[in-house]
């Protein structure tokens, strides 16, 4: 039987939205109950679920296996599961730089207890969630990283992470908008981090935007923590 066209696209960030943040990002897992909830939501008539994250696409495939969700990794530079697989036209060119940039970032955090780099296809993250010295004073490390930022790249912040990303005007919001055009669907987007704030801004009033947790936000609504996301998803499944 042919699947009913989607009328609603529910897009969600991963870390801090679907899965609680951990000191070690590699230890983050999607719970079985949340995986089941996403699968049930995706089976609702006229609904598609999209997980859009800064994580690499390969990580999302493993983490969301069995959830039935479409996936957009690398901050929206890749999209699969909604129409033909799509990659940003400049992804191949941008992917040439992260190995050298990751090596420079590794040298920058050498000797820093708890700091580590995470190379991606088109980005390099520097995590300092486990680095007490940086938690006390983040400015020194930020200055070092800003000094090695190549032309055409930007240094973006997050929750105890800085990330080198291409300066191209593309991110999660643009990927969600692309998926929505393919589906001709309305959008609900739920996120918690600075990259999600960028998406809240770019989507504007075209979407129902939901901030997870406290702090200033451009989102139109707010829920309290990952448990609040569960409650919202259950309501959407009933609707």
Taking residues 84-94, report their average pLDDT.
93
Q: pLDDT confidence of 119, banded at 50, 70, 90? A: confident
As a whole number, mean pLDDT of residues 211-238 equals: 94
Q: Which residues, including other chains, have CB under 8 Å from residue 44's CB and lie 6 or more apart?
A: 236, 237
Sign of the four-CA dihedral 119, 108, 157, 230: positive
Q: In the prediction, which pLDDT does 160 show?
A: 86
Length of the chain as a residue count: 239
Stretch(es) of the chain classified as CATH 3.40.50.1000: 8-87+170-238
The model carries a pTM of: 0.88
Give residue 3's pLDDT.
Answer: 55
Distance (Å) of CA 187 to CA 13, 70, 205: 14, 14, 10
Q: What is the mean pLDDT of the chain?
A: 91
Q: How far apart are the first and last CA of the chain?
A: 23
Give the C-alpha separation, 104 to 56, whole Å. 20
Question: What mean pLDDT do residues 202-226 have?
Answer: 95
**Greatest extent of the chain over all pairs of C-alpha atoms, in Å:** 58
Q: Domain 8-87+170-238 falls in which CATH fold?
A: Rossmann fold (3.40.50)
Average pLDDT of the residues in 14-26: 89
Cα–Cα distance measured from residue 73 to residue 52, given in angstroms and rounded to the nearest whole number = 6
Which is nearest to 2 in space by CA: 37, 49, 35, 45?
A: 45
Domain with CATH 3.30.70.1020 in the chain: 92-166
**pLDDT at residue 6 in the model:** 67
92-166: CATH, from 2.60.40.10, 3.10.300.10, 3.30.70.1020, 2.30.40.10: 3.30.70.1020
pLDDT digits (tens, 9 = 90+) for 26-81: 788 999 999 999 999 999 999 999 999 999 999 999 999 999 999 999 999 999 99
Instruction: Return all residues near 239 (Cβ < 8 A) that are at least 6 apart.
Output: none
């Amino acid at each position: 039987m042919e699947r009913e066209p989607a009328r609603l696209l529910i897009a969600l960030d991963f870390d801090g939205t679907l899965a609680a943040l951990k000191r070690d990002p590699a230890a983050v897992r999607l719970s079985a109950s949340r995986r089941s909830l996403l699968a049930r939501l995706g089976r609702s008539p006229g609904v598609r679920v999209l997980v859009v994250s800064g994580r690499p696409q390969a990580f999302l495939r493993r983490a969301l296996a069995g959830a039935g969700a479409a996936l957009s990794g690398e901050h929206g530079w890749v999209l699969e599961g909604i129409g033909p697989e799509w990659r940003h036209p400049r992804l191949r060119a941008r992917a040439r730089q992260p190995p050298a940039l990751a090596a420079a970032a590794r040298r920058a955090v050498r000797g820093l207890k708890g700091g580590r780099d995470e190379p991606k296809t088109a980005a390099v993250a520097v995590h300092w969630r486990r680095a007490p010295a940086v938690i006390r004073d983040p400015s020194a490390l930020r200055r070092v990283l800003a000094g090695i930022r190549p032309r055409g790249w930007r240094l973006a912040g997050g929750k105890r992470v800085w990330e080198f990303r291409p300066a191209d005007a593309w991110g999660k919001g643009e990927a969600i908008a692309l998926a929505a055009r393919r589906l001709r669907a309305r959008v609900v987007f739920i996120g918690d981090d600075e990259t999600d704030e960028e998406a809240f801004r770019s989507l504007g009033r075209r979407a129902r935007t939901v901030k997870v947790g406290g702090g200033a936000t451009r989102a139109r609504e707010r829920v309290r923590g990952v448990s609040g996301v569960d409650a919202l998803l259950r309501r959407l499944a009933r609707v």
